[in-house]
């Protein structure tokens, strides 16, 4: 499954790199990419291994707000 998640609080490429590293460590996340300009993360994941709630919580745990 692929989903777009709007994120608030990122203001530099360091933020993007740190959050991507966190997302990619989650078991079941197959791919993740973040566009800083639009503050949108595109995450592809295996629903049998990880759910959207867990992904969003990982974003929050990294210090960012999930807008969608």
> C-alpha angle with apex 29: 68 to 6, nearest 5 degrees?
15
With pLDDT > 90 as the criterion, what percentage of the chain qualifies? Answer: 99
* Predicted model pTM: 0.94
pLDDT at residue 68 greater than cutoff 80: no
DSSP 8-state code for residue 51: -
CATH number for the domain harbouring residue 45 = 3.30.70.100
The span from the CA of 48 to the CA of 15, in Å, is 28
What domain range is 17 assigned to? Answer: 2-66
Q: What is the dihedral of CA 44, 49, 53, 54, to 10 degrees?
A: -100
Count: domains in the chain: 1
Could you tell me the pLDDT band of residue 56, with boundaries at 50, 70 and 90? Answer: very high
Digit-coded pLDDT (tens) for 21-40: 999 999 999 999 999 999 99
């Amino acid at each position: 499954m692929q989903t777009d998640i709007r994120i608030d609080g990122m203001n530099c490429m360091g933020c993007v790199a740190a959050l991507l590293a966190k997302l990619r460590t989650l078991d079941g996340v197959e791919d993740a990419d973040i566009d800083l300009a639009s503050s949108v993360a595109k995450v592809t994941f295996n629903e049998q291994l990880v759910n959207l709630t867990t992904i969003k919580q990982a974003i929050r745990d990294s210090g960012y707000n999930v807008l969608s």
